[in-house]
């Protein structure tokens, strides 16, 4: 019976760029023989520990995301007293899960293969006539992903303990870049994709550029919305009631924008990304926004109106009986 190395040599002789094809660049024959003689036929059971550890680290990183990223998102709402901390946790649980299911696939795809060139971890793939990966490339890739989870999750927890608001995106992208650089240097990192125009910025350069563009765009939108609310609501007579009347407009905008991205560029697994055209997506989004505004008018607004009336009564009571307020404050502090 032929040895595994001998069989491997015959296989390599049939692949362009190896021993049997001297016209192309090939690994040295001694290197090929050494690699083949080191092959062992194994089962996937030896990698079960990676699945278990990776799953546990995924929960570990999710905890860090909740403690830091979600806290960043809801800090303004909780700080302003719009919602309680319990409601913030409940809303975050539902919305984070919904966002991951409905729109997370594209971001996952970018992180999975748009940061590191996975071909450099595949011994079968070839670039410019040369093999791009060692025989243990897949194992290295699996371990690298587990290490990335550990590194990013650890940094999130450390930053949270230090009360530093950081980005999950920065953490995990940096981890993958580090793994690629350590394994194969700069070639293993997708700095720029091979697409044209905007698609070319889907690599690391585009991701880093978004870190600078996003705050600027957020600032522009924030300024615009604040000025509209300031001059259109807050500086008018009876701004509280006017805020209630204009609330459905904001519900409409929020639901319309969110629904458009869900329908037009949603999850490929749910077949939402190619199911509707731009026009159909716009129509569905506007319809959803109008429905949300209508529902809020008959459900949310009456509830908010009662809360406003209760608050006004309490403020009037404070003005009439300031001493009573002081007594209540002392009792509460005691």
- The answer to whether residue 149 scores a pLDDT higher than 60 is yes
Q: Are residues 254 and 183 in the same domain?
A: no
Higher pLDDT, 11 or 239: 239
- Under the banding of pLDDT at 50, 70 and 90, the label for residue 36 is very low
- Under the banding of pLDDT at 50, 70 and 90, the label for residue 211 is confident
Averaged pLDDT for residues 171-195: 84
Look at residue 238 in the predicted model and tell me its pLDDT.
82
Q: Are residues 255 and 314 in the same domain?
A: yes
- The answer to whether residue 288 scores a pLDDT higher than 90 is yes
Please give the residue range of the domain that contains residue 179.
42-69+82-190
Of 155, 190, 225, which marks where a domain is finished? 190
Q: Are residues 182 and 47 in the same domain?
A: yes
Give how many domains the chain has, as a whole number: 2
Averaged pLDDT for residues 302-328: 75
Look at residue 240 in the predicted model and tell me its pLDDT.
82
Q: Are residues 177 and 245 in the same domain?
A: no
- Under the banding of pLDDT at 50, 70 and 90, the label for residue 34 is very low
Q: Are residues 65 and 148 in the same domain?
A: yes
Q: Are residues 186 and 240 in the same domain?
A: no
Q: Give me the percent of the chain exceeding a pLDDT of 70.
A: 76
- The answer to whether residue 171 scores a pLDDT higher than 90 is no
In a domain, 33, yes or no: no
Look at residue 283 in the predicted model and tell me its pLDDT.
92
The string of pLDDT tens digits covering residues 11-24 is 444 444 444 333 33
Secondary structure of the chain as H, E, C letters? CCCHHHHHHHHHHCCCCCCCCCCCCCCCHHHHHHHHHCCCCCCHHHHHHHHHHHHHHHHHHHHHHHHHHHHHHHHHHHHCCCCCHHHHHHHHHHHHHHHHHHHHHHHHHHHHHCCECHHHHCCCCEECCEECCCCCHHHHHHHHHHHHHHHHHHHHHHHHHCCCCCCHHHHHHHHHHHHHHHHHHHHHECCCCCCCHHHHHHCHHHHHHHHHHHHHHHHHHHHHHHHHHHHHHHCCCCHHHHHHHHHHHHHHHHHHHHHHHHHHCCCCCCCCCCCCCHHHHHHHHHHHHHHHHHHHHHCHHHHHHHHHHHHHHHHHHHHHCHHHHHHHHHHHHC
Averaged pLDDT for residues 56-73: 87
Look at residue 43 in the predicted model and tell me its pLDDT.
55
Averaged pLDDT for residues 163-182: 86
In a domain, 9, yes or no: no
Look at residue 170 in the predicted model and tell me its pLDDT.
84
Per mean pLDDT, which of 3-17, 20-34, 283-297, 302-316 is the most reliable?
283-297
Q: Rounded mean pLDDT of the chain?
A: 77
Of 174, 190, 206, which marks where a domain is finished? 190
Q: What is the pTM of this model?
A: 0.67
């Amino acid at each position: 019976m032929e040895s595994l190395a001998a069989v491997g040599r015959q296989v390599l002789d049939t692949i362009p760029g190896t021993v049997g094809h001297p016209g192309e660049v090939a690994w040295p024959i001694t290197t090929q023989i050494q690699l083949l003689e080191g092959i062992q036929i194994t089962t996937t059971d030896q990698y079960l520990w990676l699945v278990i550890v990776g799953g546990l680290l995924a929960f570990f990183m999710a905890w860090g995301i909740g403690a830091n990223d979600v806290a960043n998102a809801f800090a303004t709402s909780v700080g302003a007293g719009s919602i309680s901390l319990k409601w913030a946790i409940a809303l975050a649980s539902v919305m984070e899960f919904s966002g991951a299911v409905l729109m997370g696939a594209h971001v996952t795809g970018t992180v999975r293969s748009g940061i590191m060139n996975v071909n450099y971890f595949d011994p079968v793939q070839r670039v410019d006539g040369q093999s791009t990966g060692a025989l243990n490339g897949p194992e290295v890739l699996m371990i690298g992903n587990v290490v990335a989870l550990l590194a990013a999750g650890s940094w999130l927890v450390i930053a949270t303990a230090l009360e530093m608001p950081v980005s999950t995106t920065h953490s995990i992208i940096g981890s993958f870049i580090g793994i690629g650089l350590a394994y194969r240097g700069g070639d293993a990192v997708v700095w720029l994709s091979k697409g044209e125009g905007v698609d070319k910025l889907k690599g690391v350069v585009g991701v880093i550029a978004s870190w600078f563009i996003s705050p600027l765009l957020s600032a522009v939108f924030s300024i615009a919305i604040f000025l509209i609310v300031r001059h259109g609501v807050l500086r008018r007579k009876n701004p509280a009631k006017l805020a209630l009347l204009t609330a459905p407009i904001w519900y409409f905008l929020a639901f319309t924008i969110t629904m458009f991205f869900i329908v037009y560029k949603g999850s490929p697994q749910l077949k939402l990304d190619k199911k509707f055209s731009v026009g159909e997506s716009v129509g569905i989004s506007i319809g959803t926004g109008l429905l949300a505004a209508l529902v809020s008018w008959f459900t949310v607004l009456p509830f908010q109106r009662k809360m406003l009336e209760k608050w006004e009564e309490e403020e009037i009571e404070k003005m009439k009986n300031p001493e009573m307020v002081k007594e209540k404050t002392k009792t509460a502090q005691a």
